[in-house]
Amino acid sequence: MSQIIKAGLVGVTGYTGMELARLMVHHSSMELVRATSRSEAGKKLADIYPFLNRLPLGDLVITQPDAADLAEECDVVFLAVPHKTAMEIAAELIEAGVKVVDLSADFRINDKAVYEAWYKVEHTRADLLKEAVYGLPELYLDRIMGARLIANPGCYPTSAILGLAPALKAGLVETSDIVIDAKSGASGAGRGAKVGNLFCEVADSFRAYGLPTHRHTPEIEQELSKLGGTDITVSFSTHLLPIDRGILSTIYTKLRAETSLDAVHAAYTEFYADKPLVRVLPKGQLPETRFVRGTVFCDIGLVVDPRTGRLIILSAIDNLCRGASGQALMNANLICGLDIDEGLPMAPMMP
Amino acid sequence: MSQIIKAGLVGVTGYTGMELARLMVHHSSMELVRATSRSEAGKKLADIYPFLNRLPLGDLVITQPDAADLAEECDVVFLAVPHKTAMEIAAELIEAGVKVVDLSADFRINDKAVYEAWYKVEHTRADLLKEAVYGLPELYLDRIMGARLIANPGCYPTSAILGLAPALKAGLVETSDIVIDAKSGASGAGRGAKVGNLFCEVADSFRAYGLPTHRHTPEIEQELSKLGGTDITVSFSTHLLPIDRGILSTIYTKLRAETSLDAVHAAYTEFYADKPLVRVLPKGQLPETRFVRGTVFCDIGLVVDPRTGRLIILSAIDNLCRGASGQALMNANLICGLDIDEGLPMAPMMP
Amino acid sequence: MSQIIKAGLVGVTGYTGMELARLMVHHSSMELVRATSRSEAGKKLADIYPFLNRLPLGDLVITQPDAADLAEECDVVFLAVPHKTAMEIAAELIEAGVKVVDLSADFRINDKAVYEAWYKVEHTRADLLKEAVYGLPELYLDRIMGARLIANPGCYPTSAILGLAPALKAGLVETSDIVIDAKSGASGAGRGAKVGNLFCEVADSFRAYGLPTHRHTPEIEQELSKLGGTDITVSFSTHLLPIDRGILSTIYTKLRAETSLDAVHAAYTEFYADKPLVRVLPKGQLPETRFVRGTVFCDIGLVVDPRTGRLIILSAIDNLCRGASGQALMNANLICGLDIDEGLPMAPMMP
Amino acid sequence: MSQIIKAGLVGVTGYTGMELARLMVHHSSMELVRATSRSEAGKKLADIYPFLNRLPLGDLVITQPDAADLAEECDVVFLAVPHKTAMEIAAELIEAGVKVVDLSADFRINDKAVYEAWYKVEHTRADLLKEAVYGLPELYLDRIMGARLIANPGCYPTSAILGLAPALKAGLVETSDIVIDAKSGASGAGRGAKVGNLFCEVADSFRAYGLPTHRHTPEIEQELSKLGGTDITVSFSTHLLPIDRGILSTIYTKLRAETSLDAVHAAYTEFYADKPLVRVLPKGQLPETRFVRGTVFCDIGLVVDPRTGRLIILSAIDNLCRGASGQALMNANLICGLDIDEGLPMAPMMP
């Protein structure tokens, strides 16, 4: 390792910022040199995150976001701010020569009109949509490695797309009848102070939300359509789990022809053969969110039901790690020429 | 109510027995006079359930199960024992003139061969299958009121069938493309000492299990087929939630024709108009398991998705109350001539 | 009961208001006829609390708080508003002839100066302090029955005082060396939208807070001093449990003389002999918060440690029920001439 | 790094074995080459721990425990088996020239009679008690570095002793009046299949257990007595938290003389100045179990209460990591000449 890569983080106070800080503690080739927040500037990281006490990162002083300063000090910048806020900062930073990994939705949707229809805001930097690379390394490894601007995928889309990719690519399933029933831990709802996210409103309960118009829908459909080679519309439902982290998507598809579990499993194993961060589980095993907790693994379990002719795909990720900051770090590693998994913990915390 | 009805409970040590004990504390027309357990006979109820300390029920001495004694002392007996164990006791009790509410699966499946195929045991009292009434009061009120033997529905089937009944009865949806994605709290797994049910294996995680051959499948298909007037096969998946109680089923159906949410909602409201224990939520509201916690309510939310032509039905119950002991008590009330909701709490504990 | 008592609730949107609504659903001698909220006036209760759908109480229209209207319509009014807000409304209502149960801290502290020192606000209705009765029925039953104004005890004080009362009254323990280590569920923190109360900040963690100056300290010391007949100062520490409801206080005392567990247990049993809502557990049993969940029971376990000469008292209540709204209803029952436990559930939800 | 140290693990199926496996995944100077289990021999680690799928450690084949084989293949062996089982294996391994870190209680108590009184079994290898080093590096660093046999401390004792050491060493507090009120996550109860540890018996509840004779008492008193220079007896109480991991001990002491928080804080800061794995929090901050989750940090918060003359010490650790396997690895690192924190994660998972 010749030189340490310098990284910046815009928006340190949410759960994705917090998670990126956690991961950077153990990265030996990349150092966090800037962390910004409008509300907390001037404090040290350990002041707002006591878990960083006595760690080197804990002494980093939070600054106001400033594109010029970030461009001056950083090789790569992570944007962990809400959609719409990210688009202008991203553009400024790229123009100043910094590589950007944007964790917001602003550059994920290729089509400006689709973005504006689902997100209800104007996209003022649509000129960059073509250049932005969708940061799912299992699908776009080569493009990511040469990119200036990464659109880091959403948490639900990561789980759904990785779960369906092999089946669609191999033409195993009908493209017209896909149901994605997804369940997420509460960190996916963000760190905003809302009554609905209080402990007493989430614990010991379970509910669906946002049906049938969750904003991750167009992102999922865009990528599935590319994989399937045709326009794909899906039923996508989201639920709130009383856990901190984790997404499990149960995906229902119709097999095009009678297909054995062996054959499906072989197709999945082959598709992910050289992609070690997706684990196709042995036949008969189903994923559990705890088995990927704190890691960038996507665990996939496969079920063939001959009674109904369905292939049911179970796909589990950690929504904060693989679904946000961990994948952002995978992408940053790649665009900076490092190994994809540098600095990333491989062993989940059990229990 | 002139005279107190005397009830017996066979199998008091599991969660369904415990839940029935809880409910009987507040029943003013029915009294638990017998509670049996092979392992705990001789103890008082409060010895094994400290929450019954200082309550009248706490002093009830647990006895060995004995059909003659139960027949002598009880008007109605609840069977909270595993399938296969229940069938012979049920037969003995009925022959001795006692009314029986069987919480096991033994009399739910009309077809002996189907029962034996899914439960992998011989049914030795198939002679009673015809007489047994499936105890879902919203569908079989009249038959229940005159029954000697109630086959109390399973927890998942209660949620699925109540959720789909109006749509199938009204012919709103395709019968060939139904997906039931169900999630249950951990009490549904019973009180057996298994590593997989330990706190540290369930908390802070989420997983699917039993796919695609959960034993509640034939029970669901039997009742849906009657409602739809044709043989119905469903994709039915079960998941384990890190909560004590509650089932939420997310049910995906294809609308036969373009139908508005207004029209679907009207059909549901009409179907359940005189059935106050099912609550069709106002349009736009979705159920949460906590809103039915500890009660016999089934809450139903409806979503129409014009993009995919699907009607998505959300159905929530408390798996121990509406899904087991509470519904058993509804049935016992009915066969004993009481109001359906006597002794049943109507207000869930919040939070 | 010839005539239904009419009750009002000022402040319906917090957890204590919500809990009182839950309890009123099952009260057959008292009816909630007014529920007020500045922010939600005009809505029906079921609009903000979907768990009240299809229940009579769900149709009650929330009104703006108005003392004249409340006085006109109600026999008794519950105040579930923050301290300082309660004092003036309480005074107005009493002057208008309504009985008041105040769930805030405003009338709990007998000494105006002590109140002002701990609560950092001026007490503008100190004229009522003398009349207000501290609503702990096990200590003040007779005075409560004749009261116009009840100062409903705090949650922690209820647990601590009931736990210590027999030992102090019987002179079993030193008054100079009492440690109360208390742990509470998250509903005790209220329903305000604060980051610190989010699911992801509370779940899967445990912490102390407010040491050593929790505002319940003077309330505890005031009542213990009366019981002990001398000024008592305690070490009182509070912790946040990742559960919805429940307080467990572990109370450490020094025995004045060598005393057997038998003797201590006898003193406790005698003290609470005719007070059925406190359950002194059999020797060797320790309380669990779930055994009192949703009820007004206070469960007490006793441990004598000859090695250290200490009596350790474990005292468990449900902070929302016995610690707030349930006890308020006990008090309202008493001042209205009803049985103390009318409308109150006796069987906790298990699990 | 010249040569990789070879490690063995006896008893891989419990939570401490599982945790050690997790930590070894990221250790670059030590490799797990043996993992034994009587019940699971022949399987690969990933067969029983799916979270190790696709990781090198996942392919390790579990063997039957065999001292000769372990001695042949390993430089250091961890014993994660129950007390009594460990003592003979430990002796055999040491005699065969292997270094041993024993996670059981067998060599923690210096006095054979005390061990036998509290653990109710005979100690058959008391000859090794003198040689065994109590593996708390903050107290015994030098002795640990030269040891053959480490008695790895218990979880509660680690938290209590680290919390009290500076105060006792500096003579700040009375030695005759110490109360340790400790709360632990459920993994501390082990992975045995017991009804009391089921999710539905632990979640949403809180209870004390084992009062007043928890087996960690003599271990705590032994070490505190050494620190205080006099025989110390403590009140030590344990409680079960509905969380996976974490211990918080709230420790009540009497200050010998009036002492400011500044002075106490200075004493603690000085004591732990060169011991970076104990974090004395800034004045006013209190520890939370989540801030040490998955790490070997012990976080200490200090409260001085002038009203009662007490110093209250809050001490938080992760019971599985600092309280068991993480500390075992610290000790193994030290006896093998590595840095104390090699392979140990420093950043807790948040949330």
pLDDT tens-digit readout, B256-274:
999 999 999 999 999 999 9
Q: What is the mean pLDDT of residues B158-170?
A: 98
The pair phi, psi for residue B201, each rounded to 5°, is: -100, -15
- Residue B310 pLDDT more than 60? yes
Distance of residue B67 Cα from the nearest chain C Cα, in angstroms: 28
- Residue B2 pLDDT more than 60? no
Residue recorded with tokens 């962990």:
A80
Option in D203, D282, D291 nearest A51 (CB): D291
Look at residues D84, D4, D67 and name the one whose alpha carbon lies nearest to residue D342. Answer: D4
Spell out a b/e string for A204-243, using b for 16 or more CB atoms within 10 Å of the CB, else e: bbbbbeebbebbbbbbbbbbbbbbbeeebbbbbbbbbbbb
Distance of residue C133 Cα from the nearest chain A Cα, in angstroms: 31
In Å, what is the CA distance from D224 to each residue of B236, D135, D164, D169, D237? Answer: 59, 15, 8, 9, 16
Interchain contact, D53 vs A22, CB within 8 Å: no
Interchain contact, C177 vs D179, CB within 8 Å: no
What CATH number has the domain spanning C156-318? 3.30.360.10
pLDDT tens-digit readout, D184-215:
999 999 999 999 999 999 999 999 999 999 99
B300's tokens:
């139903």
Cβ of C207 under 8 Å from any chain D Cβ?
yes
Q: Which helix (H) or strand (E) holds A76?
A: strand A76-79
Q: Residue A291: count other Cβ atoms within 10 Å of its Cβ.
A: 25
Interchain contact, C197 vs A202, CB within 8 Å: no
Q: Please give the pLDDT value at position C143.
A: 98
Which residue intervals of D74-126 are DSSP H helices?
85-95, 112-119
Chain B positions touching D186 (Cβ under 8 A) are 198-200, 203
Residue recorded with tokens 């509905």:
D242
Question: Under DSSP, is residue A256 helix (H, G, I), strand (E, B) or coil?
Answer: coil
pLDDT tens-digit readout, C265-310:
999 999 999 999 999 999 999 999 999 999 999 999 999 999 999 9
Q: Please give the pLDDT value at position C160.
A: 98
- Testing the interface with D: which of A12, A15, A48, A53 to mutate, by most D Cβ within 10 A? A53
pLDDT tens-digit readout, B38-92:
999 999 999 999 999 999 999 999 999 999 999 999 999 999 999 999 999 999 9
Instruction: Give the number of residues written for chain B.
Output: 351
Q: Alpha-carbon distance C315 to C313, whole Å?
A: 6
Chain A positions touching D184 (Cβ under 8 A) are none
Chain A residue closest in CA terms to C188 = A200
Catalytic residue among D155, D200, D298, D321: D155
Q: Please give the pLDDT value at position D1.
A: 44
Cβ of B283 under 8 Å from any chain C Cβ?
no
Cβ of B200 under 8 Å from any chain C Cβ?
no
Kindly report the three-state secondary structure assignment for every residue of chain C: CCCCEEEEEECCCCHHHHHHHHHHCCCCCEEEEEEECCCCCCCEHHHHCHHHCCCHHHHCECECCCHHHHHHHCCEEEECCCCCHHHHHHHHHHHCCCEEEECCCCCCCCCHHHHHHHHCCCCCCHHHCCCCEECCHHHHHHHHHCCCEEECCCHHHHHHHHHHHHHHHCCCECCCCEEEEEEECHHHHCCCCCHHHEHHHHCCCCEEECCCCCCCHHHHHHHHHHHHCCCCCEEEEEEECCCCCCEEEEEEEEECCCCCHHHHHHHHHHHCCCCCCEEECCCCCCCEHHHHCCCCCEEEEEEEECCCCEEEEEEEECCCHHHHHHHHHHHHHHHCCCCCCCCCCCCCCCC
Cβ of B246 under 8 Å from any chain A Cβ?
yes
Q: Please give the pLDDT value at position B1.
A: 44
C80's tokens:
């579930």
Interchain contact, A179 vs B252, CB within 8 Å: yes
Cβ of A257 under 8 Å from any chain C Cβ?
no
- Which sign does the torsion angle of CA A53, A55, A61, A64 carry? negative
> C-alpha angle with apex D158: D156 to D162, nearest 5 degrees?
125
- Residue D2 pLDDT more than 50? yes
CA dihedral B267, B270, B275, B277 (to 10 degrees): 50
Q: Please give the pLDDT value at position C2.
A: 56
Interchain contact, D235 vs C310, CB within 8 Å: yes
Residues 14-43 of A with CB under 8 A from C: 15
Q: Please give the pLDDT value at position C280.
A: 98
Cβ of C287 under 8 Å from any chain D Cβ?
yes
pLDDT tens-digit readout, D262-288:
999 999 999 999 999 999 999 999 999
Cβ of C268 under 8 Å from any chain B Cβ?
no
Cβ of A186 under 8 Å from any chain C Cβ?
yes
Cβ of D296 under 8 Å from any chain A Cβ?
no
What are the domain boundaries of chain D? Answer: 5-131, 156-319
Interchain contact, B291 vs C245, CB within 8 Å: no
CA dihedral C46, C49, C50, C54 (to 10 degrees): -40
Q: Alpha-carbon distance A176 to A41, whole Å?
A: 50
Q: Please give the pLDDT value at position C3.
A: 87
In Å, what is the CA distance from B339 to each residue of A3, B152, B269? Answer: 79, 18, 22
Q: Alpha-carbon distance A141 to A139, whole Å?
A: 6
Q: Residue D122: count other Cβ atoms within 10 Å of its Cβ.
A: 11
In Å, what is the CA distance from A186 to each residue of A200, B147, C190? Answer: 12, 46, 19
Interchain contact, D50 vs A291, CB within 8 Å: yes
pLDDT tens-digit readout, B327-338:
999 999 999 999
Say which CATH architecture domain B156-319 belongs to: 2-Layer Sandwich (3.30)
Q: What is the ipTM of this complex?
A: 0.97
pLDDT tens-digit readout, B36-48:
999 999 999 999 9
The torsion region of residue D343 among left (phi > 0), alpha (psi -120 to 50) and beta comes to left
Q: Please give the pLDDT value at position C1.
A: 44
Size of interface B-D (CB pairs under 8 A): 57
Question: Under DSSP, is residue B160 helix (H, G, I), strand (E, B) or coil?
Answer: helix
Q: Is A298 in the active site?
A: no
In Å, what is the CA distance from C92 to each residue of C32, C37, C65, D162? Answer: 20, 17, 12, 55
Cβ of D183 under 8 Å from any chain C Cβ?
yes
Q: What is the mean pLDDT of residues C317-322?
A: 98
Q: Residue B192: count other Cβ atoms within 10 Å of its Cβ.
A: 12
Distance of residue C262 Cα from the nearest chain D Cα, in angstroms: 16
Q: Which CATH fold would you assign to the domain B5-131?
A: Rossmann fold (3.40.50)
Q: What is the mean pLDDT of residues D13-38?
A: 96
Distance of residue A174 Cα from the nearest chain D Cα, in angstroms: 30
Q: Alpha-carbon distance B217 to B232, whole Å?
A: 11
- Which sign does the torsion angle of CA A271, A275, A278, A284 carry? positive
Pair B114, B91: CB distance under 8 Å: no
- Cis, bond preceding C65 (omega within 30 deg of 0): no
Option in A179, A203, A286 nearest B179 (CB): A179
Which residue intervals of A37-189 are DSSP H helices?
45-48, 67-73, 85-95, 112-119, 137-145, 155-169
Question: Under DSSP, is residue A150 helix (H, G, I), strand (E, B) or coil?
Answer: strand
In order along its 351 residues, chain A shows pLDDT tens digits of 458 999 999 999 999 999 999 999 999 999 999 999 999 999 999 999 999 999 999 999 999 999 999 999 999 999 999 999 999 999 999 999 999 999 999 999 999 999 999 999 999 999 999 999 999 999 999 999 999 999 999 999 999 999 999 999 999 999 999 999 999 999 999 999 999 999 999 999 999 999 999 999 999 999 999 999 999 999 999 999 999 999 999 999 999 999 999 999 999 999 999 999 999 999 999 999 999 999 999 999 999 999 999 999 999 999 999 999 999 999 999 999 999 999 999 999 999
